[in-house]
Structure 1
Amino acid sequence: QDEVAALRGKAANKKTDEAWNLYAKGEAEQAVTAFGANSGAFRVQTLYPMLQSILQENKLHFLVAPYNASAQIAYLDMIDSDQCAGIMGSQELLLYPINDGVIRSFDWENKK
């Protein structure tokens, strides 16, 4: 099931990348149409279980916040907690004064 989800994700990401390329070329209307046509875009929430299993396989410690995850994980980052070395979450995290980096695309074939 993870393989099927990953394949669908790759296809959806490719379509999303094509839409971003249209946007970068200044073809805003075509980009909006391309984004809208990609209703099967891969939702990042479906990646969480797969990423958690990868962390577990590599014996890396992680926490899953039980309530408002964004506020809790941002707090851990802001106090320089040893429990927080990286954060993945919704755009809401950008509202907090955290050390942030934004991943805009994945290159699944070249693993980048």
Structure 2
Amino acid sequence: MPCAQHRYGLVSIALHWSIAVLIIAMYPLAWWMTRAINEPETQANAFEAYQVHKSVGLTILVLSVIRVVWRLLHRAPPRPQEMPRWERWGARLSHVLLYVLIVG
């Protein structure tokens, strides 16, 4: 494994923000399509939105798996030594839980 750096690399940052933007963009689409599917005049558009939603969801899944593999192969930057132990533990746990939620 490569040595830990002082900050995340370009690939990690690009994957992080790509996944984040896609997940955030899914919320308004999901909100609209779940309401539009019940209206006869918007059902066709809602069906198309469902197809886009599924495609973007699969893209998020693939990018997330790539991100997890990348993270396993490249160490994260070290946390500051002055950071309390419970905060370091909490940061690690929250990252693991976020990966589980995204991939799940």
Structure with higher RCO (Cα < 8 A, 6+ apart) = 2
TM-score (norm 1): 0.40
TM-score (norm 2): 0.42
- Return the index of the structure with the highest Cα Rg: 2
Report the structure, 1 or 2, having the larger helix content. 2
